Every structure is written in C-alpha cells, then in structure tokens.
C-alpha cells in the first residue's frame, strides 16, 4: 500500500483501496507509542461503522489507515485520543467511495480475506473462495532490501503463492550484528529495548521500511502473515522466545499497532508461533486483534511440534489453528486430521512442514513438497498449504554467510538460491490448480471414493488426490453428491491428462496410473 497521505478531494475512491490520514499532535509526549491512544470511527451513509486505531509514526505524527468495505456512498470520520490532544482528538473529515469495484488486484475486486460461513476455509469479503498458499520467509522484514523483495515477490507470484509468513521483528534478544541489511550478521531493529525483554521503544524508521516491503508484496497479491514476536526458537535460537518473555500488556499493545499499521490492507494475524499456545501473551494479543480489527481478517495460532494444537479453541478472536510437523522429513497428515476434529470448528493447516534441504541436501526435496501439500490439504487442512526452504526462511544473505544454525540451512545456498528449489513449484502449483474452484467449506470425505484422500463440497465439488494415480472408483449412492463432469490433473505440471463426463453415479474416473494425480469433479 502507499504510505503517502490520501488526497480525499480527488474524486471517489474504490472500495477496499487503502487510504491514509495524517494527524499531528499539538502537545509533546515523552513516550508517545506507549502512552497515547488514538482511533477514529468511520461511519457510512447506511449506518455501518468501522473503527480503526491510529499509529504513532515518529515525532508528532500519527496516521490513520482505512479501506472502505462498501462500494458507493459517503463516509464521515471523527478521531478520538486518550489523553485528549487538540491535534489528535475531534478531527473530522469525509470521503466518497466509487459505486464500482476497482479492476486489477483481486483484493480490490473482491475484498480482504475472512473466514468462510462454517469457519473452515478462506473467502474474500464478497464470498469468492480462496485457498492460502504460503511461503515461510520469516526473516524478510528485518533482512531483505526493497530490491530483494521485488525479486522474491515476482518469483513467488509466478509460482502461485499468495501469502508469506513473517516474523514482524527480529526476535532473538541476544543476537548481535550491524544494523545493516546487506552485511553478514546484520539486521534492522524494530524495538530498541527488545534485548532487555521489552517492546516499548519502537523504531518508526523500521516500520516505515517494512511499509515499503509489504507494499511490494501487495503489488504482487501476496498477503503478509504477520507474527508479532516468536514464542519459540526464533531466528538463531539466541533468546528467540521473546514472545513468551515480554509482558502480555506490551505484546497486546504491539498487536494493536500492527492492526493499525497494516490492517487496512490484506493481512493475516499469526498471534502465536512456535509455542504451546497457552502463553499469556497469545491470549492478550489475540483479544486485542479481535477488539480492533474491524475487517475481521483471519487470526490464529501456529504451534511447535510438541503440543495438542487446540489452545483457545473456543475464543471468539481465534479463526485458525496451524500445526507444525517438525523438520525431520516425515509426512504426518494425521496431525492435520486430528485438528480438524476439534470443536468448536476452526480452520486448520500445517503451517510448517519440513523445510526443503533444511540441514541435509536431500531432505524433503522436490515432489516430497507437492505430496506433502496435497496430503495435508485433503486431510482437512482446507485453509491452505505452506512451504519452507532452508536458507530462505533465515534470509541468509549469500551461500557463505556465517552464524546460522546448520540444522536449518540449505548447503551452499543463500535466500536467492533457495528460491529456485524444485519443491516450491509444486506447492505453488496447488494454488493454480484450485484457483476458481468452489472450495468454500469443503470437508474431508471417506465415503465417496476408494481414494485414500478426498474433499467434498456436496453437490458442487469433489476433489481427490492419489499418490500413484489409477482409476478412481466413485460411490455416489444418492446421485447428488458428486458432479458428473471430471478432469484428471498431473499435480507436478498442472497438465490435464484426462477429462469427460461420467454417465452413471457409480462410474469410475479412468486413469492409467503410475504417477500422482488430482481428480476434480465439478460441472462449472
């Protein structure tokens, strides 16, 4: 998104187009990030109200970011501050929104992501189905340059990715290095007091740079999955559990800041990562996101491999639970299947399968990643799939940069070399294959076919994955569950290897077998 203040006199703005309003405090504050709260209510002619927090951006400047969730009409806004400040409190304005949606970017056409009616998958605000296809570039925010991110985003979009998991700040309290994104060991700093276990001394310049990086991602329709502060291993394992150390009230304040700064553009909130989920910071942060995110963008938790993955299952703020199957190279889709059964229903996914080439050159390479993605999806991970690569997640600057733990590194690779690992093509291709299909609230099904893995949206879509292909037996006893039209796809290439229309409800879908196949029954 643009970080320039919007010109509200230049004619109607498209719905879902982020705009920015600058406010200037009239009084000095010793700790503006910590001690001043600012927000505004935007009210539409229809009576719809959107409340947006503002964020401090250095000096006496606060900013409000807003995206109109309705096409057409007029919005008026009024700001509030605590303590009251003449420049921050009681400011007013209005804006007009165009009657038609914007063209181009799918998030402008269809709106931000939110959860589906049954809470099992993603949809855009207008109901258009979506499947998250995520990458793990955890260290991008504090290591990558703008040019790096342009290269990265172009590659990932071309392959079919639409999201990227990122630690919003470098979490290791004991990590040391130059404040230089281009130097060995270097990283930029989001909070000056993080080494002491606090996040009160915010560095606005860091987040201004992150604005530009997330703006590049947005240009490529890649959604930032923003993790406030890791609860687990971190970047180099040097006090990386900062998210379990900082006071919960500081963690919650930072979650509000992220919602204020990035919540008027497409985003996913990953309020917990690499922990048990029971850390008090996670509940505090999740509640704060739920309180301030008027667009109700997806919010959830990502776990370390050792836990039950159901903390806060009944919380109103929690939309999804993501497991982690570790980095040993085994396929463990039953972790996803177990999570699917938890109630009340939440969306699930494997948020961190084994990193390709992580620590060992032949670990989880190539089609291993494609099989992992389709297996997790069909086991119930209907929110989407996630990929990771050694050396990419750390944003290792070059193949010889020292100082990283060898267990996670890809041999002779920096982030740029890791972009080209074969497995990413297969995971990204899953998104291409599913794009445009009615995937909303599809669920695992074991009764329709002899396939070991299938998903069903009754009467609308049936999807099956078979590791070695072959004829797919269909058992539609009522004749109402499985559409007659089908196509068979090689998930390694996206090639359609067969298509037709079944004449009977019990007819097999033909395939020669011997290679991975995805079977899609859909009349559209």
Query: 4-16, pLDDT tens digit by residue?
Result: 334 444 578 999 9
User: How do 61-66 and 19-24 pair as beta strands?
Assistant: antiparallel
pLDDT the model gives residue 2: 35
Least confident of 9-13, 81-85, 174-178, 485-489: 9-13
pLDDT the model gives residue 477: 84
pLDDT the model gives residue 10: 59
Neighbours of 246 (CB within 10 A): 24
Per-residue pLDDT tens for 505-517?
Answer: 889 999 999 999 9
The SS3 call for residue 53 is: strand
Tell me the mean pLDDT in the region 275-299: 98
CA dist 492 and 309 (Å) reads: 31
| DSSP for 203-215, written as a single string | -HHHHHHHHHHHH
Tell me the mean pLDDT in the region 17-46: 97
pLDDT the model gives residue 104: 78
CA dist 279 and 301 (Å) reads: 11
How is residue 519 written in tokens? 């079977």
Task: Please report, for residues 353, 410, 423, the alpha-carbon distance to residue 363 in angstroms, rounded to integers and kept in the order given.
Answer: 12, 10, 11
Residue 186 β-bridge partners: none
Tell me the mean pLDDT in the region 123-131: 98
pLDDT the model gives residue 7: 45
How is residue 491 written in tokens? 């998930």
Q: How confident is the model at residue 117 (pLDDT cuts 50, 70, 90)?
A: very high
Task: Please report, for residues 1, 255, 449, the alpha-carbon distance to residue 444 in angstroms, rounded to integers and kept in the order given.
Answer: 37, 34, 11
Q: What is the largest CA-CA distance in the chain?
A: 76
Tell me the mean pLDDT in the region 6-33: 87
Task: Please report, for residues 232, 323, 361, the alpha-carbon distance to residue 61 in angstroms, rounded to integers and kept in the order given.
Answer: 34, 40, 49
Please tell me the pTM assigned to this model. 0.97
pLDDT the model gives residue 450: 81
Residue 334 has pLDDT above 60, yes or no: yes
Q: How confident is the model at residue 293 (pLDDT cuts 50, 70, 90)?
A: very high
pLDDT the model gives residue 452: 77
Radius of gyration of the chain (CA): 23
Residue 49 has pLDDT above 50, yes or no: yes
pLDDT the model gives residue 273: 97
pLDDT the model gives residue 102: 75
- Burial category of 455 from C-beta neighbours within 10 Å (exposed 0-12, middle 13-18, buried 19 and up): buried
Q: How confident is the model at residue 351 (pLDDT cuts 50, 70, 90)?
A: very high
Average pLDDT over the chain, rounded to an integer: 96
Tell me the mean pLDDT in the region 187-209: 98
Residue 73 has pLDDT above 90, yes or no: yes
Per-residue pLDDT tens for 386-439?
Answer: 999 999 999 999 999 999 999 999 999 999 999 999 999 999 999 999 999 999
């Amino acid at each position: 998104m643009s970080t320039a203040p919007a010109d509200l006199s230049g004619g109607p703005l498209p719905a879902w187009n982020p705009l920015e309003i600058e406010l200037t405090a009239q009084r000095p504050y010793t700790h503006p990030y910590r001690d001043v709260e600012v927000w505004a209510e935007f009210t539409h002619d229809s009576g719809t109200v959107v409340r947006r927090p503002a964020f401090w951006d250095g000096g006496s400047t606060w900013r409000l970011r807003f995206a109109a969730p309705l096409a057409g009409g007029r919005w008026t806004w009024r700001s509030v501050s605590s303590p009251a400040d003449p420049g921050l409190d009681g400011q007013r304005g209005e804006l007009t929104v165009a009657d038609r949606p914007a063209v181009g970017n799918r998030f402008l056409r269809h709106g931000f992501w939110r959860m589906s009616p049954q809470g099992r998958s993603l949809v855009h605000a207008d109901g258009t189905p979506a499947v998250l296809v995520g990458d793990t570039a955890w260290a991008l925010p504090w290591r990558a340059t703008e040019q790096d991110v342009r290269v990265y985003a172009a590659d990932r979009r071309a392959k079919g990715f639409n999201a990227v998991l990122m630690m919003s700040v470098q979490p290791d309290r004991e990590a040391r290095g130059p404040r230089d994104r281009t130097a060995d060991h270097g990283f930029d700093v989001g909070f000056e007091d993080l080494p002491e276990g606090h996040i009160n001394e915010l560095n606005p310049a860091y987040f201004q740079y992150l604005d530009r990086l997330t703006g590049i991602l947005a240009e490529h329709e890649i959604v930032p999955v923003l993790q406030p502060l890791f609860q687990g291993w971190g970047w180099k394992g040097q006090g990386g559990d900062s998210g379990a150390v900082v006071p919960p009230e500081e963690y919650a304040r930072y979650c509000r800041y992220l919602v204020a700064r990035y919540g008027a553009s497409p985003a996913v909130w990953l309020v917990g990562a690499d922990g048990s989920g029971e850390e008090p910071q996670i509940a505090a942060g999740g509640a704060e996101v739920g309180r301030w995110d008027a667009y109700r963008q997806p919010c959830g938790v990502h776990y370390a491999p050792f836990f039950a993955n159901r903390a806060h299952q009944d919380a109103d703020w929690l939309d999804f639970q993501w497991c982690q199957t570790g980095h040993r190279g085994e396929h463990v889709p039953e972790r996803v299947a177990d999570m699917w059964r938890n109630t009340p229903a939440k969306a699930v996914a494997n948020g961190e399968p084994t990193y390709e080439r992580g620590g060992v050159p032949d670990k989880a390479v190539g089609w291993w990643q494609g099989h992992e993605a389709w297996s997790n999806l069909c086991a119930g991970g209907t929110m989407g799939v996630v990929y990771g690569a050694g050396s990419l997640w750390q944003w290792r600057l070059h193949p010889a940069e020292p100082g990283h733990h060898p267990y996670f590194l890809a041999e002779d690779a920096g982030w740029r070399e890791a972009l080209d690992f074969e497995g990413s093509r297969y995971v990204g291709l899953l998104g291409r294959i599913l794009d445009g299909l009615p995937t909303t609230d599809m669920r695992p099904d074991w009764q329709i076919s002899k396939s070991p893995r299938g998903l069903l949206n009754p009467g609308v879509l049936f999807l099956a994955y078979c590791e070695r292909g072959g004829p797919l037996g269909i058992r539609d006893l009522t004749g109402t569950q499985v559409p007659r039209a089908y196509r068979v796809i090689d998930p390694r290439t996206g090639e359609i290897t067969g298509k037709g229309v079944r004449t009977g409800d019990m007819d097999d879908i033909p395939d020669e077998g011997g290679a991975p196949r995805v079977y899609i029954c859909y009349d559209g």
